Amino acid sequence: MVANVQIIGLRKTFGPTVAVDDFSLTVAEGEFVALLGPSGCGKTTVMRMIAGITDPDQGQITLSGQRIDALMPERRHVGLVFQSYALFPHMSVARNVAFGLKMRRQTAGQIAVKVAETLALVDMSSYADRLPRELSGGQQQRVALARAIAIEPRLLLLDEPLSNLDAKLREQLRDDLKALQRRLGITTIHVTHDQSEAMALADRVVVMNAGAIVEVGTPRDLYQTPKTRFTAQFLGHTNIIPARVQFGRMITPWGELLGAAPLGAGAVQLSVRPEDLGLAACDQGAGHVTEVTFLGAEVEHRIAIAGLMLRSRSSGRDAPVHPVGTKVVLSFPADLHHLSQEPAL
């Protein structure tokens, strides 16, 4: 009974604050979508409106053709995992997981079987009789997830489920979560402000800022060919270089980029990832190294050129290291990318 989701024109204001504006999104059956954006951009508000905990001012939410935006939350059959986990503190792990099943008037036998099955799924079988306060953060997170999936929801909503965990555990639970979602095939919307989490988990990423959707795409497309400066900068680091296209030639602040295919017309903004920006020592070079940082797997150079500050990263054991002050020339990838939805500077 996995559903597809269609959201049209969702809007919510709190007094003068526009928390969510004109939010439209379609999620296919079984798809894993991540809502990615900085803190306060309205991600939680979107989730709460889908779950029915917050009433939207405007907009429609449809699950597999059924309008749900006027339904009480208990009628929506949507699983929700909170950032705070929101486990019932006075109930054991097993009773937490059983809660939704009891509400569905299943028999004690059915409930016992389902609880055992779900706890096994999240590897928490041996903790069934513990109280939430007797569990670690990661264990509580698993129980919260188990409680949400036990009711076999049509849609699973995860609101920053991993953000209260330390980095190592976060990575492990992230992998577990992905495996579980693939296995169960539940349509999932996952909220996060962590771009690597969004990219690792999701089939598609929805980038949000200030209550509105900025861009939607696969992790790869958003990373490699972002249309906006916001997306380019939010998903990792990038160098933004203002340029002009004149007579089929690409002109940067320090001169023509030889061999670059012209993109767009007039003024454009190029976005070049640090790992795509090549670097070679050259006495006639227009730039010079201002800082070198060894990051373990990579070496990062900062280069000052024509009033811009650019980053270049190279990886591998033999990655060359240029001392501060070295004059350098830059090399660009053949398929230059520019931010097509960004107004010209």
Partner 1 sequence: MTITRTTLWLLLLPGVGYLVLFFGLPLVLALLTSLGMGTIGTNEGFTLRHYADLFSDSVYRDGIRYSLYISVAPTLASLAVALPLAVVLQATFPGKKLFLTLYKVPLVVPGIVAAFIVMILFDRGGEMSRILKPVGLSLPKLVRDDWSLGVIIALAWKSIPFMTLIIGGALASIPADLAAAARSLGANRRVVFWQIELPMALPGITAAVLLVFVGSTGAFAVPSLLGPIYPKPLSVWMYEAAYQQNDWGLATAMGIVMSAIACAVLLIYYRLTHGLNRAIGGETR
**Residues of the shown chain interacting with partner 1 in the complex, contacts defined by CB under 8 A:** 48, 51-53, 72-74, 76-80, 82, 84, 86-92, 95, 99-100, 103-104, 129-131, 147-148, 151
Q: Least CB distance from residue 277 to Mg ion, whole Å?
A: 34
- What does 17 interact with, of Mg ion, partner 1, ligand ADP, none (CB < 5 to 8 A by kind)? ligand ADP
Q: How far apart are CA 189 and CA 19, in angstroms?
A: 18
For 134, the 3-state DSSP assignment is: helix
- What does 104 interact with, of ligand ADP, partner 1, Mg ion, none (CB < 5 to 8 A by kind)? partner 1
Q: Least CB distance from residue 41 to Mg ion, whole Å?
A: 9
Cα 102–Cα 106–Cα 111 angle in degrees, nearest 5: 75
Q: Where are the beta strands (DSSP E) in 98-254?
A: 155-159, 187-192, 204-209, 212-217, 239-246, 249-252
Q: Is 139 in the site for Mg ion (CB under 5 A)?
A: no
- What does 227 interact with, of ligand ADP, Mg ion, partner 1, none (CB < 5 to 8 A by kind)? none
Q: Is 17 in the site for ligand ADP (CB under 6 A)?
A: yes
What is the residue whose two structure tokens read 């799924």?
A: 121
Q: Is 42 in the site for ligand ADP (CB under 6 A)?
A: yes
- Tokens for 317, please give them: 């054991």
Q: How far apart are CA 200 and CA 209, in angstroms?
A: 20
Determine the interface stretch with ligand ADP among 40-48, 110-118, 181-189, 238-246 (rule: CB under 6 A): 40-48
Nearest to 27 by CA among 216, 228, 176: 216
Q: Is 40 in the site for ligand ADP (CB under 6 A)?
A: yes
What is the residue whose two structure tokens read 């004059």?
A: 327
Backbone phi, then psi, for 14, in 5-degree steps? -115, 100
Q: How far apart are CA 273 and CA 237, in angstroms?
A: 6
Q: Least CB distance from residue 115 to partner 1, whole Å?
A: 13
- What does 82 interact with, of partner 1, Mg ion, ligand ADP, none (CB < 5 to 8 A by kind)? partner 1
The residue sitting closest to ligand ADP, measured at its beta carbon, is 44
Longest Cα–Cα distance in the chain: 81
Q: Which parts of this chain interact with ligand ADP (CB under 6 A)?
A: 14, 17, 19, 37, 39-45
